[in-house]
A and B are shown apart, each in its own frame.
Chain A
């Protein structure tokens, strides 16, 4: 186990290097554009002299490797420069928006698990019956709806027509997590949960069907163990193991994938921050967002892998060669 952990940590090194290199290299894709954007945002008349001076001031005329190492140092020390738009510290801004996105991520994961696990199991146990078809059709529809359409439909129905919930969700920002309007959390959570639940139901149903075909289930049935007991004692366990990895992927995807939903609901998290930064061509902000999202995702995945490793002896035996 220790050897496995150490090996996984060592594997992270090239990946982290790659992530930072790509995130940083993107700035160079934009070329001199970045400086022009910065100057335009500051309202300075853009001439070649001004651009050159600014490039020198920002160290952009230095060799790529020097710039990259400098940026890497900033990444580690939390000094990633200031926003071209607001002039505030980029890293601080990112960190201040993170709790809102984490809250949204966890609420939608929670709703997804609560809805998808029972529905997936019911669909599998009632295979090819009406309930199964209904659940499958609904999950298919959910899978084919883009999240921005779901979001707008939910707003149309619950906020505009029924007036049950607010359209604009939260005003977190400086005041911190306490200022969240809980009613505002409902619609963005529902939007994210609908897509995820649809995906999970199919997975869980498939896993349960797979598990129910195994010889040990036949054995248990032959010995007169009740279906309920088989489901709760044995099958649920395999579902939970699968959920760990699935959730790790979803949490990463949600942290990074909420950009559209956050923008629609004006949810003040990192996704909206990124979209705003992209619209304003606020390159340091974009870089910080990209690199930190990747790091968070990699770490979450690592934790999930270790957990999976811990939970499932088969992986431990097979994977440690």
Chain B
């Protein structure tokens, strides 16, 4: 690959195509960024944007098909579905973003501490993260949400409990890869304290791959959060939330499919926008994909003294960043 790579970078034609590709990625970033931002604006301003009161029941107009008066139809209580879908963006999007932020923050703190300190702290924390990774899929989240007894906050806690180890592993690997870099030694010689080193020198240098991972996770987390609500372990029925709206209307699939389709399409669109943005951010961060390989190589390097990474874990990590060349 190195020979091909070298000839590619020296060839003037491919340099130009790379530039075009770069501009293409920037354009995509602007478009999808704007789309995601507008979703966010809708979520924040949702109470103001609803055409009707999303909680006003009107039984004489229950289960009406989409019409001019109710663009997405009405549900079994005659509530305007469009308004409920708009209001539903608030819990779905805002809680998801909060969840991703929390999970990434916990993971990065743990991972940086592990990579930086090494030794016993590293072993204990990484073994702990191994235990959390040993629960497949949503199993542990389901149980935690079940024990805590539902509610959006509890659903977020449940998903955070299974989400942080991935970030901890990535942050640890990146920290290890950066730790021996000369710039850190230079900063240390220049008189930086450990806190300064970590915050002003290490973190900016490992932020990229972590940001990409977080962006790529938004869509998945949104679906998982909605899934918990769908099972009755997140938002509770009167509240307008996409997952619980679909669960509430499940029995109406035959008679009033729009009650399912409206919130379903909303989740789909939101997840897709954030997935597109995530992919674009990844491409923007490493257009040649060469740095992608370096990053994952650094991630898999294990410290002296053990914690060899299993093949499964390596795949689990790279799975998130499968390329879209």
Select which of B3, B267, B275 is within 8 A of A143 by beta carbon.
B275
Per-position contact with B for A185-225: 1 when CB-CB < 8 Å, else 0?
00000000000000100110010010001110000000000
Question: Can you name the residue of chain B whose Cβ is closest to the Cβ of A202?
Answer: B322
Chain B neighbourhood of A147, CB < 8 A: 223, 227
Q: Count the B residues whose beta carbon is within 8 Å of the partner chain — how many?
A: 57
A274 touches B142 (CB 8 A): yes
**A29 contacts B by Cβ under 8 Å:** yes
Question: Can you name the residue of chain B whose Cβ is closest to the Cβ of A17?
Answer: B131
A297 touches B136 (CB 8 A): yes
A21 CB → nearest B CB, Å:
8
Given known contacts A149-B268, A293-B135, A294-B134, A18 and B246 CB-to-CB distance under 8 angstroms: no
**A140 contacts B by Cβ under 8 Å:** yes
Select which of B4, B268, B314, B322 is within 8 A of A206 by beta carbon.
B322
**A252 contacts B by Cβ under 8 Å:** yes
**B10 contacts A by Cβ under 8 Å:** no
Chain A neighbourhood of B227, CB < 8 A: 146-148, 260
B325 touches A301 (CB 8 A): no
Chain B neighbourhood of A254, CB < 8 A: 137
Chain A neighbourhood of B146, CB < 8 A: 277-279, 281, 286
Per-position contact with B for A277-310: 1 when CB-CB < 8 Å, else 0?
1110101001001100110111001001100110
B142 touches A275 (CB 8 A): yes
A217 CB → nearest B CB, Å:
11
Select which of B137, B223, B253 is within 8 A of A156 by beta carbon.
B253
A47 CB → nearest B CB, Å:
22
B127 touches A148 (CB 8 A): no
Chain B neighbourhood of A148, CB < 8 A: 226-227, 230, 243, 246-247
Question: Which of the candidate stretches A106-114, A169-177, A231-239, A241-249 sits at the interface with the other chain?
Answer: A241-249
B310 touches A301 (CB 8 A): yes
B131 touches A18 (CB 8 A): yes
Given known contacts A146-B227, A256-B137, A315-B311, A29 and B147 CB-to-CB distance under 8 angstroms: yes
Select which of A22, A252, A319 is within 8 A of B308 by beta carbon.
A319
Select which of A144, A156, A209, A304 is within 8 A of B257 by beta carbon.
A156
Select which of A144, A199, A264, A281 is within 8 A of B319 by beta carbon.
A199
**A153 contacts B by Cβ under 8 Å:** yes
A146 touches B135 (CB 8 A): no
B143 touches A249 (CB 8 A): no
Chain A neighbourhood of B268, CB < 8 A: 144-146, 149
Chain B neighbourhood of A127, CB < 8 A: 325
Question: Can you name the residue of chain B whose Cβ is closest to the Cβ of A286?
Answer: B143
B115 CB → nearest A CB, Å:
19
Given known contacts A144-B272, A148-B230, A148-B246, A15 and B143 CB-to-CB distance under 8 angstroms: no
B194 CB → nearest A CB, Å:
29
**A253 contacts B by Cβ under 8 Å:** yes
A256 touches B253 (CB 8 A): no
- Interface hub of A141, A149, A160 (most chain B Cβ within 10 A): A149
Complex: how many Å from CA A44 to CA B138? 33
Complex: how many Å from CA A141 to CA B271? 10
Question: Can you name the residue of chain B whose Cβ is closest to the Cβ of A255?
Answer: B136
**A59 contacts B by Cβ under 8 Å:** no
**B237 contacts A by Cβ under 8 Å:** no
B136 touches A252 (CB 8 A): yes
A215 touches B1 (CB 8 A): yes
Chain A neighbourhood of B131, CB < 8 A: 14-15, 18-19, 22
Given known contacts A144-B268, A156-B253, A213-B1, A18 and B275 CB-to-CB distance under 8 angstroms: no
**A26 contacts B by Cβ under 8 Å:** yes
**A263 contacts B by Cβ under 8 Å:** yes
- Interface hub of B137, B219, B310, B311 (most chain A Cβ within 10 A): B311
Interface residues of B in 207-255 (CB under 8 A from A): 219, 223, 226-227, 230-233, 243, 246-247, 250, 253-254
* Complex A-B, nearest 5 residue pairs according to Cβ-Cβ distance, in ascending order: A18-B131, A278-B146, A257-B137, A256-B136, A256-B139
Q: What is B's interface to A at a CB cutoff of 8 Å?
A: 1, 3-4, 127-128, 130-132, 134-140, 142-148, 219, 223, 226-227, 230-233, 243, 246-247, 250, 253-254, 257, 260, 264, 267-268, 271-272, 275-276, 308, 310-312, 314-316, 319, 322-325
Question: Can you show 29 pairs from A to B with CB atoms below 8 A apart?
Answer: A14-B131, A15-B127, A15-B130, A26-B143, A29-B144, A140-B272, A144-B219, A145-B268, A145-B271, A146-B223, A146-B227, A147-B227, A148-B226, A202-B322, A202-B324, A215-B3, A245-B312, A245-B315, A246-B315, A253-B136, A255-B137, A259-B138, A259-B231, A274-B139, A290-B135, A290-B143, A293-B139, A297-B136, A319-B311
